[in-house]
Amino acid sequence: MRNIFKKHPLAVGLSVLLHLILVAFFVFGVELSDKKVVSQPQVNIVKATVIDASKIQAAANKLKKLELKKKLDEKKRLDQLKKKRLAEEKKIADLKKKSKQQKEQIAKQKADEAARLARLKKQKADAKKKADAKKKADAKKKADAKKKADAKKKADAKKKADAKKKADAKKKADAKKRAVAEQAAREGALQQQLLEEQQEREVQAAVASFSDLIRQKVERNWNPPPGDITGLACDVRVRLIPGGDVVDARVIKSSGNAFFDRSVELATKKAAPLPLPSDSNMFKHFRTLEFNFRPGG
């Protein structure tokens, strides 16, 4: 009863009022019929009864209209709730579908990255195996050369001892001559070393300068991948031909983001021809070039 009153307070109130009016009508109507009142005509009593019944009927009609309106409003509210619930269910279904697609995409990215890492691991293992084999061959070659050198040294020592007994004077002259020649050779070697060091410094400076120019041109042709790439960087190895055309471009030190690495490789190829020194003799130093790519750095 309390719940009905909370949901339909107006209807319940009118219903109670109607019942009170009906009770009053029957109680007071009976009492009036029992008393003998000559001064009140019977017509007036009938008229009053008709007026009260019409009011009751009007109140009942009003109550029915209110109940009908209440039902219609309630139906409208329930229809809106149903429509809203269906929209929410569709939204949840769409979110689940989108979440599933995102999970599948992330799984594919992880699988691709795992495959790439496996390839890198195999490449490193093959390189190590090859290096170990070369090291072993070099060690054997060095041991053979030492054995041969020791034998030659022993023979030379014997020959030298024999020659010493026969030509001490010639030995002294030869020693002096040799000392002069060695001194000249040392001086020449020192000059050659200084020249080569100077040339190496010039080459390194040129490589550093043009590596920076190449990085800048690559960055101008670079399309950043989607997502957060703040702080990412990678090392790129480029193989060039005369004129600056790119034969190959590979990331040799990954940024950790496969999409970022791939975008840098594509930008390097797209930036061809890359800037090179005008001196064609310098190209041998730029045939294979490595640079660090860091956006804005």
- Where is pLDDT greater, at 265 or 186? 265
Question: Which amino acid does the sequence have at 101?
Answer: Q
Residue 266 falls within a domain, yes or no?
yes
Domain boundary among the residues 93, 122, 146 is at 93
pLDDT above 90 for 31: no
Residues 6 or more apart whose Cβ sits within 8 Å of residue 265: 236, 249, 250, 251
Distance CA 233, CA 297 (A): 9
Provide the domain limits for residue 239: 205-293
pLDDT for 82 beyond 60: yes
CATH number where 285 lies: 3.30.1150.10
- The CA distance from 101 to 91, in Å, is 15
Evaluate whether residue 167 is within a structural domain. no
Joined together, the tokens standing for residue 161 give 């001892």
Average pLDDT of the chain, as a whole number: 80
Domain boundary among 68, 93, 118: 93
**For position 125, what pLDDT does the model report?**
54
Helices (H) and strands (E) in the chain, counts: 5, 3
Using the predicted structure, report yes or no on whether residue 64 has a pLDDT greater than 80: yes
**Which pLDDT value is given to residue 6?**
65
pLDDT bracket for residue 37 (50, 70, 90): very low
Q: Please check whether residue 272 lies inside any domain of the structure.
A: yes
Least confident span in 157-166, 209-218, 271-280, 285-294: 157-166
Are 287 and 272 in contact, with CB atoms under 8 Å apart?
no
Q: Residue 200 — very low, low, confident or very high, per pLDDT cuts 50/70/90?
A: confident
217 has a pLDDT exceeding 80: yes
What average pLDDT does range 124-152 have in this prediction? 70
Residue 144 lies in a domain: no
- DSSP characters for 58-91? HHHHHHHHHHHHHHHHHHHHHHHHHHHHHHHHHH
pLDDT of residue 259: 96
Do the beta carbons of residue 219 and residue 270 sit within 8 Å? no
Q: What is the pLDDT of residue 45?
A: 46
Task: Select the more confidently predicted residue: 202 or 235.
Answer: 235
pTM score: 0.36
Q: How would residue 92 be classed by pLDDT, with cut points 50, 70 and 90? A: very low
Q: Which of 45, 66, 93 is the last residue of a domain?
A: 93
Percent of the residues in the chain that have a pLDDT greater than 90, as a whole number: 36
180 within domain boundaries: no
Summarised one tens digit per residue, pLDDT across range 249-291 is 999 999 999 999 999 999 999 999 999 998 888 989 999 999 9
Residue 29: inside a domain: yes
Query: Is 67 buried (19+), middle (13-18) or exposed (0-12) by CB count in 10 A?
Result: middle
Instruction: Answer whether residue 142 is part of any domain.
Output: no
Instruction: Work out how many domains the chain is built from and give that number.
Output: 2
136 falls within a domain: no
